[in-house]
Structure 1
């Protein structure tokens, strides 16, 4: 793959996103988005903000109904969105690792058999043949389900097992667009998973001078404050219909900013999180990429985002750290030269 500049890559992926979604969104028709990610993982908030940015920038739209897993109301959806598509938030929870989300997705298909349902881009992973069969039946009964996937392997799997429209689409976080440059504080940061998608167990051998972090720790108080401010902004704008949406948007912005502030401290990053990879591209930060438990990141890079010098497919944690150290050293030299030019 020929190396592309960061702006070229982001613009290209945004064009691909629009090509996949333009037939399912209308300026005049209401829409719903379900399964808002009210969780600590900053990557899910990045996806949500990309979904909102896409609707705003391409159509001047906001969703007319949003819900989380646990506060969904079929009656409220029907009242606010009597016609139009039902979207389900994207990510990496299609399959049987994060079963609550799959259960919810299949319940929506059952409850709304006559409505078009569009799944924002997902990575697909199943371990259980029984669960594959369950999903196959749910999709087959619905007949109007559109499945957007983030890699070729997910597309091949879905076309084999599911009777629905399947389209290859980049992750929605790219719709946020390039992020402005931020000052660095440390040479290298290791952002490594500590959840169900972590590869291997035991202690990782990481030099003591490299901070090891994940981005699933948050201040509940700060998120709650952000939500309250979001609600207040809706009332001040005299838009009661936006109360729930602004509350959730504010939480997503709070989490996203926390994640960006965390990774932007480093001149170079080592990670096994897909959205640290994506956000590093949006920031313009060099980063070495390992993989998660089922190959999600490499699959995505092979399909969309591997064509830039900013990312490096590391063969091991040690290899990734060595590459990141080299990039951090180059970044430090560039920073000194920039200071000299300004002086």
Structure 2
């Protein structure tokens, strides 16, 4: 009995791991091939998985007409289920597909009753809704709570029904003493190795001759991996597991297999369990216990030829197996959440370790552990509690990205698609850096941008976006407005947003971090108040505390949050070129300029003054590519100086990313100092100057203070003026 139990446990674990690996590789393959049409990627993936099934499996023993018919039905149902599952994953979240597949016991029970004639007792019928409902509640997270009928959901239901058909007809094969089995292991391995080596050689050759991109080998590996794991878990599911239980019992086993995957996610910290999740687990286990205990009244098909003693041993073994798996899931969820949320000791110890590594300008008067666990969407005033106290660039950048992660995972976590409007591929390198940060964030969150329109977005482009949006539900698609510093102060930017917002009233709209520039334009302010009040689900994120306060006052119907500029998503960037000047001065000459005279360069110091608008960037193949090139070019512009003087906000932000000490001159709207006081007030070697003369004097002080730490001017520049 012990040997049988251990064998069952090993089979269950292998079944779980191969299933998880198959769908994980498949999801990555679909993501990496997203630039193709969805139908093409899904067809290739499904075709390869089915080819592997045909190549490695065969029908043994009997070969009569009924068995042959069953074989074709099984392969057809399996192929349809695989296609529907893959297509569903390309449309919707895996979590939504998962929730739908938890309905499998119900469809299996119905098909088993009508096609195999196996009756279930009243207790068993009553247990099925409890198991299904409890499983869905246990598996629920932010994605499945926003459940919504869509193409992906419909395809998942189709997959569910097809799998039930497959299992019923596979059970018929087991009863007829005919079954699927793996071909000769030696032959199978030989075919696999030879085909893999050939494919790798072909793929490398195609990469070498530049017919396909360099990532093709990785994509091929995902395709092969998914196909191999598909054969493995399908074999275990239909031949090993289904042979020893009923179709409904197999469906219950599938639920616990999926439970185990979720348990691993809890242990890894990818998910946390709420009280409702625990209640769902309890309901599901109770329903399963009722089903198992009532099986004494069911004539098990697989036990038709067994004696009473064997049947008794199997029943005890199955009950023990179910109890152990249930207990393991409960323990995994409890320990994971106790370690992550419930145990103040474990959590605070991690927080203390983190706080000791931080370089602070003064002692903290709040609990760092409580602060890190704060939801900044629900408590936006808490966002800048720590950042102004940090004195080193890595700490400031890491904290900015942590705040982004806190806010945007909450706001965007359930969405799969996005439209981005009014981004700016501008020689104003700061605007481009914001776009780059926005794109990096969306990639981290695995959100696919299905439409992007730059600041010159025409009515034709907007009409196209509006038509495209009808393909998505409001829980799949999010509308995003580009960040920057142009609310109220730049009327054209508000007018562009007025073209976008009325077209997408069905969807949530979020504006990336912005600043308010208020020039006492009362008529335009009233226009903005009416515009931004018209949308019921509009969120504005402000990038400095002053704008946050103004935003809440001006737009009380709009949800206001506080977050650092999106350019911080670029992260800490080491210098990649030597300086040419001692002082590099960015001097703007537009409406936001502080307006000052540039003094003469100090004796024996090389100083260059210009605006990066005039530092032209080579163009790429698209406006989006241009933003990345312009951002890199802006970093090159700054690195020409050992020290930077700037009156542009992103001169300050990009210098922070590059670890270039700098002096800033503020304008009348206090755009830079508002940001500096909100997020970077504690940074060393970042100094506010009161005038242009003061800026030069402070830049010279920094040069003297940091001379040994700053890179030297090398080459012929050392002897030229």
Aligned length: 313
What does residue range 1-343 of structure 1 map to in structure 2 within 5 Å? 2-26=389-413, 29-57=416-444, 59-72=445-458, 73-81=461-469, 82-83=472-473, 84-96=477-489, 98-126=490-518, 127-162=520-555, 163-182=557-576, 183-200=578-595, 203-207=597-601, 209-219=606-616, 222-223=618-619, 226-227=620-621, 247-334=622-709
TM-score when scaled to structure 2? 0.42
Residues of 2 paired with 1:80 and 1:310: CA distance?
Answer: 49
Kindly provide the CA deviation profile for residues 212-254 of structure 1, in whole angstroms up to 9, marking residues without a partner as x: 111112447x22xx12xxxxxxxxxxxxxxxxxxx22310122
For residue 115 of structure 1, report the CA deviation from its aligned partner. Answer: 1.7
Higher helix share: 2
8 A contact 2:586–2:609 mirrored in 1: yes
Residues of 2 paired with 1:192 and 1:318: CA distance?
Answer: 14
Larger Rg: 1 or 2? 2
Residues of 2 paired with 1:28 and 1:270: CA distance?
Answer: 41
SS at match of 1:115: coil
SS at match of 1:35: strand
For residue 152 of structure 1, report the CA deviation from its aligned partner. Answer: 1.3
Residues of 2 paired with 1:193 and 1:266: CA distance?
Answer: 17
Following TM superposition, where does structure 1 have runs of at least 4 consecutive aligned residues deviating by more than 6 angstroms? none
Kindly provide the CA deviation profile for residues 37-81 of structure 1, in whole angstroms up to 9, marking residues without a partner as x: 022100000000011111123x13341110013234233223444
8 A contact 1:41–1:215 mirrored in 2: yes
Residues of 2 paired with 1:12 and 1:334: CA distance?
Answer: 25
For residue 20 of structure 1, report the CA deviation from its aligned partner. Answer: 2.1
Kindly provide the CA deviation profile for residues 244-284 of structure 1, in whole angstroms up to 9, marking residues without a partner as x: xxx22310122112111111111111111000100000000
* Structure 1 equivalent of residue 251 of structure 2: none
* Structure 2 equivalent of residue 239 of structure 1: none
SS at match of 1:308: coil
TM-score when scaled to structure 1? 0.85
SS at match of 1:120: strand
Residues of 1 paired with 2:432 and 2:466: CA distance?
Answer: 26
For residue 107 of structure 1, report the CA deviation from its aligned partner. Answer: 2.3
Residues of 1 paired with 2:390 and 2:410: CA distance?
Answer: 31
Unaligned runs of 5+ in 2: 1-360, 362-388, 715-721
For residue 129 of structure 1, report the CA deviation from its aligned partner. Answer: 1.2
SS at match of 1:63: strand
Unaligned runs of 5+ in 1: 228-246
Higher strand share: 1
SS at match of 2:417: coil
Kindly provide the CA deviation profile for residues 101-138 of structure 1, in whole angstroms up to 9, marking residues without a partner as x: 11011221222222211110000122211111111111
SS at match of 1:333: coil
Q: Which moved more, 1:277-286 or 1:64-73?
A: 64-73
SS at match of 1:282: helix
For residue 86 of structure 1, report the CA deviation from its aligned partner. Answer: 0.6
Q: 1:336 to 1:159 in 2, by over 3 A?
A: closer
Residues of 1 paired with 2:402 and 2:600: CA distance?
Answer: 39
Residues of 1 paired with 2:435 and 2:429: CA distance?
Answer: 10
8 A contact 1:119–1:146 mirrored in 2: yes
8 A contact 1:281–1:310 mirrored in 2: no
For residue 333 of structure 1, report the CA deviation from its aligned partner. Answer: 2.3
Q: 1:332 to 1:110 in 2, by over 3 A?
A: same
For residue 336 of structure 1, report the CA deviation from its aligned partner. Answer: 7.9
8 A contact 1:3–1:309 mirrored in 2: no
Greater relative contact order (CA < 8 Å, ≥ 6 in sequence): 1
Residues of 1 paired with 2:643 and 2:549: CA distance?
Answer: 34
CA RMSD of aligned residues (A): 2.1
Residues of 1 paired with 2:567 and 2:492: CA distance?
Answer: 22
8 A contact 1:189–1:263 mirrored in 2: yes
SS at match of 2:612: coil
